[in-house]
Amino acid sequence: MAVPADVAQRVDFLRAEINKHNQSYYQLDAPQIPDSEYDELMQALQQLESQHPSLINAQSPTQRVGSAPLDSFKQVKHVVPMLSLGNAFGAAEFEDFDKRVRERGGFSKAMEYMVEPKLDGLAISLLYQHGDLVIAATRGDGKTGEDVSENVKTIGAIPMRLTGDGYPDKFEVRGEVFMPLKGFQTLNIRAKKKGEKAFVNPRNAAAGSLRQLDSKITATRPLAFYSYGIGLVEGGAIPSTQKTLFEAFKRWGLPVCDQLVTVKGIEACDRAYQVLLEKRERLPYEIDGVVYKVNDFEQQRELGFVSRAPRWAIARKFPAQEKTTKLVSIDVQVGRTGAITPVARLEPVFVGGVTVTNVTLHNEDEMRKKDVRIGDTVVVRRAGDVIPEIVSVVSDKRPAGAQLFKMPNHCPVCDTKLERTEGEAVLRCGAGLYCQAQTKAAIKHFASRRALDIEGLGDKLVEQLVDKGWVKSPANLFELKQEQLAGLDRMADKSAKNIIDALEKVRLTTLPRFLYALGIREVGEVTANSLASHFGNLQAVMDASTEELERVADVGPIVAQHVVTFFSDRHNAEVIERLLRFGIRWENVAVRVLEDAPLLNQVFVITGSLLEMNRDQAKEVLQAMGAKVTSSISKKTDFLLAGEEAGSKLKKAQDLGVPILSESDFMKLIKSNHV
């Protein structure tokens, strides 16, 4: 049945009115009508759409309420990578950046920069086609993100259809989803009333809200958005400067920050930084610095990129925030490798964007060095995503009789006698997986994202499984049953099935992931990858002697001994055997180094910025020539490939007498070997 023309016109009118008021509310912070009138417009539109379903489309304001829950997020490839920014932590570092910009670009005059607040949120990419929002994706690793379109549609600040004209047929808007402070406080008050866990900080709240599989939950969260850049552009042009791009964004209905300023020269840049630093506490959202961007897009193109960051932009971070609080008590935690770590319990203090209640004291020597005592008033520092630390003790506020903390002689969990290896500052429990604390930590590590990545197997679930005695090693995970899991606290049938499905999915993995997941002491991702690449299969790694292991890039005598000790332990061997029996498998890493490879077994380290290719590409070229590429300089290093702005690695190579190749030398080497 055809929709009457007057009804279609009324629907178009209502949508235009609602979108206009959304723009006034979210972008201009100047609502033109009371909430009750806005609700009436929305109800009228919902009623007409329910009577005429054929009129409903994805861009309608009514579609912001959320849709049915997803099983998982789809992957989205970024045609134009979403790059991260380099950091400057002071005026001198920014001056060095400005000097590099002018020298590299051959610019004689003072540079014009756009100065923006560095919002503490989650980067997002919005793809618009013919003015309609079609895909929203997270940054992910810069090349591939997650499709969060359904969640983004619930954010009122983001237009589902652009206004005005002159925008390209197809283009990506890059920006930041964040949670304003007022909304964050309201959200936590609501959570506490419901007996739910409060969010730690606005950034975590924004990220958690945007990654909900149920977009109806996202719709209840007070999220905001500011545009800051552009990605893919097809079928049209964009303005010539960052400043005019922001003006175009406003015309198209895309919100931009209200604290933007264009300045010329480093002195003006510093003044803009100081203004925002002074305003920081009064802003309605969290920022942790400023971003400087070369304003002219043609100049940006001339400057180009290095590795994963643009050469034409940099973030200048604010100084670390420090606050004082009282140290209430000290206790110890048992880590995955049995390390006993003293932890300070503090009166809650909000610093650097988070509420801090616990701070590691690292080890007994560190604790004694700072002379930290129970009852002390301490200075706590946190900057950005850095782990909070106790900087110092306010000695003149120390109460009478403040006591030193004495480290235990026995493990607080399994009562095993603690030992300290000669030359180490750390006490250890040697009980291994027979200690419940180490078992929990080992399982959490095994399931973590960079290890086997068992989706849904969070810390609280792991603790329940170990406490019940169902899981005593990683192998036990693959014996769990759906009905068994469904009986646990806060675990419904669907959640239990998701865990079983996730365990099935991770049976096919890679050798580097598996080696890392085993939790061998001091074997991180890089070393696990080096072991896999060198030996090609698990059995070869397990059978290797310390001498054979020391031939591997990144493996020294201490790590080699840890690897041998781990694989010679009967219990560890049994766990590995059971994991393989339960279907954990991978394709063996092909060791394809030709005997006549020009750089066979030569050890290279790459540092600094390369102009002809990025460092990942250089690494691939070197490996194709038979070389091993490691991340740290040692006496075993044969060559250092040093690009621009090479730092401490260059000095260390010079001190050790390691031969240094410039990028020009490297390119000649490639050409001479026809690579």
Residues with catalytic function: 118
Decide the pairing of beta strands 112-119 and 287-294: antiparallel
In this structure, which amino acid lies at residue 57? N
CB 283 within 8 A of CB 259: yes
CB 256 within 8 A of CB 159: no
Dihedral angle computed from the Cα positions of residues 420, 421, 423 and 424, in that order, rounded to the nearest 10 degrees: -60
Cα–Cα distance, 349 to 378 (Å, whole number): 11
In this structure, which amino acid lies at residue 156? G
Cα–Cα distance, 535 to 14 (Å, whole number): 66
Cβ-based neighbours of 158, under 8 Å, separated by 6 or more: 126, 133, 136, 152, 225, 255
List the one residue out of 576, 451, 473, 585 whose CA is nearest residue 524.
451
Residue 490 DSSP SS3: coil
Task: Using the structure block, give the residue that is written with the tokens 């730092």.
Answer: 647
Cα–Cα distance, 331 to 344 (Å, whole number): 7
Decide the pairing of beta strands 339-351 and 354-360: antiparallel
Helices and strands of the chain, counted as H and E runs = 24, 24
The 3 state secondary structure assigned to 534-553 is HHCCHHHHHHCCHHHHCCCC
Instruction: Give, in order, the Cα–Cα distances in Å from 475 to each of 238, 497, 532.
Output: 55, 18, 21
List the one residue out of 607, 579, 413, 443 whose CA is nearest residue 508.
579
Cα–Cα distance, 39 to 62 (Å, whole number): 11
Give the burial string for 97-113 (b: 16+ CB within 10 Å, else e): bbebbeeebebeeebbb
Instruction: Give, in order, the Cα–Cα distances in Å from 468 to each of 83, 85, 436.
Output: 45, 46, 11
